[in-house]
Structure 1
């Protein structure tokens, strides 16, 4: 929403802080005032030197010079303008001093500027400016024009200070609308330059502050920033020829800021012809100015007071000559925008006449010297000369102080006590008019000292204007004003208090008000801490606490108003209650692949997450909702692995559980199958290994016949199985399947030989009778024979383990029949034993001469009976010399001896019998040859 402003100036409501940009905050000018000269009346002329030395000894006062007038018992002293108040106080306390007054400047009566347009400037004459010029013409007082900017035209040349442009946010506040330049020239155009116009304050300096754009409008926040900028950068008076229809705490705060810095604020009342308030003119303590005609009536377009709301303070001529922004040209400038700079210029002349005057004293001088024009303004029409005279005169009646209790910001019942003194007679009465923000004034009176009056501010919040008017018995009156910040509104107590907390928790206010003084935190109605400054945050240490706590936050503002908010807070300094549901750790179990880890978790603050981490702290999986099932890829694990189940509640509290699980993602290794034997009961042992152990080992045996037989291995290493192979010979295929506890399985096939057939064991002896070393040999032995054993009478006497399969049996010393056995054993352990009875014969044959027959023709025939169990090989007859006479090899054994040539007579011959074993027996026999 936009509003028209006085003399084509407007303001737009906008929320903003009172701060200005960094560039704008840099002071660009500090007003410099000339030294103050004081005339000191002495009770004795001889005390001049003593009085001056005593004044100079005051650490707060510097005496620049002194000039004594012995005949008048007075001395004139010069002190810096800033030291004036201290100097006056020191001098008045000196018993040698009779009076102290300002060394005023007098000029020729009826100062008449020679400017060509002055004769047409009826407003200056009506407001009695010429008489004020007899006293002062400005003396470098700084007037801030917060407007559309100011161009340095001829009438104010050399007196425009550097300023700031809040519209474009730069340091060049040029005037692109002409309004601000017109305002500046009405207030401070030069005089006695032979041409042009005359301003109220000839020597004033102008501080330009641009807050309105080329269309004459601007936002409240920029206006507020401009007011603060002017107050911070040397302004003594601020002129606001602008306004809007809506009230604004922002503008009120800015005007109060300037007032707190002792700056006089003058604002135009508006050109709507209504009694409706405009702002910032209606802001306390701005001086609101209406427009008056040459006959002291109100213009039809000016805003004015109603009997119920006397918010307009002064009237001032509303039609004045002003210089155009382009320079050279002059125009009639009408409206309250033209009236306000007359009052601003007058305020500057008052300050020039009394540099130490406060903003309240300047206002008092302007308002209490005004000429009455009716009730349409509160104080009357501006009298510039009267205001200058009032500020320069020593008042007979003065309000030196206004004490307010409680001090600003205040609330409830407020006691106001003014300090009033009168030199003309006793004080008769004191009247107080209180103007709250709603504008409905309330009046109070006091008839006797200490002039205290009580105002009940219940229900009021904002800037409250207090005007104290004192009247003495001589009829003198004086008024002093002050502004009190009243606050009866409870502060905002909204605080961020979490529902559940742990450890040290910040309890903070949400958007705290600027006027907060203290924040108190209570737990179970016990105060645990306070905060007295921003940021409004209290760190609540909940260590050692648990359960539900009633937390109350109470805030107190600067006025003492309080408000509180309470919340039940769950204190949780423990992690979730966590249970590892599955998989559980069971002996002879293992896991493989993706494993679902199931958990249960509960927490009063709520469970944020349940996670599974590996031994290095890496997160393997997360679940945030119940039931908590976290799939974990276990393919990367083998053997015993420690996993951590971590539960985190919504406060960040953690509980962990460690579990060691056995993972096996590698199938068992099955190598060769070994058999403990190749026949009979065989122990079959597979070469099986696994990192986590085997659950089962099974073997499927395929027999040479094709039949399949299943056997199970032992549950523990070496996983051997027993199998009876009776009756089976040939290659057996063994398919071994090993399954570990994780379910991984491997099958490997091996072949081994089974032999349950006895070996071939044919052997021979030369005869049934033997002697000496006899070779016992196998005939056509089988290839798989491993050993050959010789047993005599059941006792082993020899063994061989390799071909040729023959054993030499030494029969030396033996005789008779022997049971001889040959036992052959093949590589499988099969045996075959063959037995024979063998006679050992070391005796020669038995020889008996049966007959001797002599035949003449054939000699002698000797028949011999020869027997031997091993068989007779030969019978031989030997003579005495050992020569063979005859031999017989077959039975009947007959020996034919040719004796014809032999000598007759007795001879001894020997019968030599040899059996088939080579045994020899001899028999000597006497024969007679006839």
Structure 2
């Protein structure tokens, strides 16, 4: 269950009650002392004063709030003294309450407050797709169960068109009641309740219209809202008391759907919700459509599962129109008090005219997705308690926080997932991730557990067919190692499939696509051949390939066992058989090792080397700037010594020859210099990027300011640049 911080309740209750509380004109809820109501009917002297007050203010009618519940449970005496009093709408509220409170026969009297349906009317043309069922993974959940007639869901709403073909044989009319008209006909005169009922329990697989979440559950309509979608708090309380009474006598009400509410806390409503909860019934309520964080009631109560609404993209639902309570554009309410989210935009459902309509929006439509799911879970697991249903629904959602960064932690635990909730299982692979490369021995981690857990299997699939079973285990894993797998015998794109099984062989499945790579790249130098003599520009041929090729690099180093290598270049296109690169050797002489390294995306690498004898060729001692670039430049520049450890001097040489860099301050003083041999970084053909660490020739840190540097060869300046130092 969720925890509701008391301080938040006090703050938000004040804001909401001062701004939004809406009373029903002329209507009050009074609780008499025992025997008072009977005495009033008999006009006994002890209640003469109360009778005079009624005459003074023109009492029109009175009705016992919990009459229906008391017929079933006459022993529930705590309910028998609460009545609704109806006066002319123009009556002065404060005067009535003042005089009633002075009478010793009255325990409490409060204005009757409105509750309203959390929706607005359909606004889109009919279409033949119920996106919400796919979004919550209902089709896979139906593989487990499509419900049972043993389960009853009470719908406290505007009523239900019980003659609709989608509800044939599914409506409990024996226990239904119309609290608005105080009769046994709960026919819907607004449409809201019928749309809600369709989401919960429209018959599925019947070649007609739509499918609800639970195809077989019974629906119990209790009409508490009028044709305008409004009703009194006492009618809501009376309906909840009836549910509690029915449950206490063996009527299997599993869940109550309340797609309604108000922004005003009501102690009696909280008590009625607690009573229903104590009877073992799951209460589900809409969070509201005011686009605010304020709590709504009854959704806010800890005994009620609060539902926010999401759209097709799993984002907090936003609609058109203005909410009558908050004055804001219609959008789902949110807050840390919300327990879960469910689809609530453009919902296609049944309508009160016996047809179907699309475009139903609101947390009113999100709420029945949850109530319907509760019915399905109960059908699959008859011994589950209402508290276990609550926990199962909230613990098996899909996390949508990343899609709603502004509302992290305020849309409940996530958007409901019928498949996972019905499984009673948890299956996930946390490593490797989809698309990850696997090589050698891999530790596979994840989750495989649940209250109905029996065993799990982890399999390797190739093009949908099982290639091998990695593990079959009867030990549950809440979060940790599922298996240690030696992948050496495999290569290519594969699928890791985890299945977690229940006693009925029902399973929950999770799969990730991986790239297995246990084959090193191909690295071959075909020319120049080992021992050959070369000079000038040398064309290097060979092969650099791999199934998951990333890049290759060509380097050279002096001698047969070089202590260091210089880079010729890095290249990002595979070469099956052809030119790998060209290498300018002018300025080099003697034996050199040419090295090719090929890398793949899995991190594997392979190398090939060849020895060459380089004949002396005089190099062209020039800097060749790239198109549109200066002859030399430094990066980073400015060089902030507090943020960077080095800066690099970039320039492109046409050959290999000794070079040097001189760095001067504004006064022409030499601050730093360094010389580079032919063929090493700073004096090699191609791009060079020797670095400076910011220290002067004397080892001290350079002061901040503007510096000039020169690239020099044979006492000739080939390129000049500027460098700003920040210290």
TM-score, with length taken from structure 2 = 0.40
Q: Which has the higher contact order (CA 8 A, sep 6+)?
A: 2
- Bigger Cα Rg: 1
| Greater fraction helix | 2
By percentage of residues, which structure has more strand?
Answer: 1
